[in-house]
């Protein structure tokens, strides 16, 4: 089981650091299928992703995929998204047990699917940046993160692309904002008295961190238009899989 968990964590982080999405969305259901309880999985993913997102920020910045220097546009965008996301993830953790899971799953799946389709459809069309387009999405995405440990990257990454941000920059910005979101979410879970499976958390960190530099190099040498296309395809797949989870229980 540990070997399978390690492999899935590495692949999930490669997708996340490479396309800005996929770690929690792909890893959480697999861990649950393996036998872990959801309340064990979510805090473990939040903390492990906090570590990998920090590593991703440094790596993407060093390779020139994103500019996270203070006062840069990318830094300001990431900081704003992180601040908004902190509010969303706090509310999500507090009300997690009061929301019908099937309804939330349907909502997330439909929204992510629509996002992926929009990215593909608008691939050849010039898009102007708008703060209003991504602030709302960052709140919704962080709400998803706090409840399910996934669903953040597809919305924030997709929202930035649809707002006109270069896909390569969007990957680094997403990592920065998600690190803040994961930190706040994990702290709230601790405050609420949730126990942490440190063995699982450590395994996820050890397995996922090595995928970060590999993914960052992929982003550096992959053309932006192809990255946008692949991101759109992955978002559509994640949206469909999320909707299918309703039928499978």
pLDDT of residue 95: 74
Using 50 as the pLDDT threshold, list the residues of the chain that sit under it: none
Please give the DSSP secondary-structure letter assigned to residue 172. Answer: H
Q: How far apart are CA 206 and CA 203, in angstroms?
A: 5
pLDDT of residue 187: 92
Tens digit of each residue's pLDDT (9 = 90 or more) over 102-147: 776 677 677 777 777 877 776 666 656 667 777 887 888 888 788 7
Distances (CA, A) of 46 to 23, 71, 76, 96, 106: 10, 27, 23, 15, 22
Distances (CA, A) of 142 to 122, 135, 139, 197, 226: 25, 11, 5, 22, 27
Q: How far apart are CA 57 and CA 172, in angstroms?
A: 6
């Amino acid at each position: 089981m540990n070997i399978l968990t390690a492999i899935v964590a590495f692949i999930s982080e490669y997708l996340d650091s490479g396309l800005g999405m996929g770690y929690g969305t792909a890893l959480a259901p697999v861990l649950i299928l393996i036998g872990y309880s959801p309340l064990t999985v979510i805090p473990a993913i939040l903390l492990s992703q906090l570590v990998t997102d920090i590593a991703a920020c440094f790596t993407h910045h060093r390779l020139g995929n994103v500019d996270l220097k203070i006062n840069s546009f990318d830094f300001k965008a990431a900081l704003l998204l992180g601040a908004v996301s902190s509010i969303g993830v706090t509310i999500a953790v507090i009300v997690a047990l009061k929301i019908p899971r099937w309804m939330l799953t349907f909502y997330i799946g439909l929204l992510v699917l629509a996002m992926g389709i929009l990215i593909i459809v608008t691939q050849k069309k010039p898009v102007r940046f708008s703060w209003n387009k991504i602030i709302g999405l960052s709140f919704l995405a962080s709400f998803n993160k706090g409840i399910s440990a996934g669903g953040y990257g597809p919305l924030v990454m997709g929202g930035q692309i649809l707002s006109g941000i270069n896909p390569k920059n969007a990957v680094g910005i997403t990592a920065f904002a998600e690190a803040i979101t994961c930190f706040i979410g994990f702290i709230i879970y601790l405050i609420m008295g949730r126990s942490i499976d440190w063995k699982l958390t450590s395994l996820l960190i050890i397995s996922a961190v090595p995928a970060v530099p590999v993914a960052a190099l992929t982003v550096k040498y992959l053309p932006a238009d192809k990255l946008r296309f692949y991101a759109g395809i992955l978002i559509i797949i994640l949206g469909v899989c999320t909707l299918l989870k309703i039928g499978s229980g």
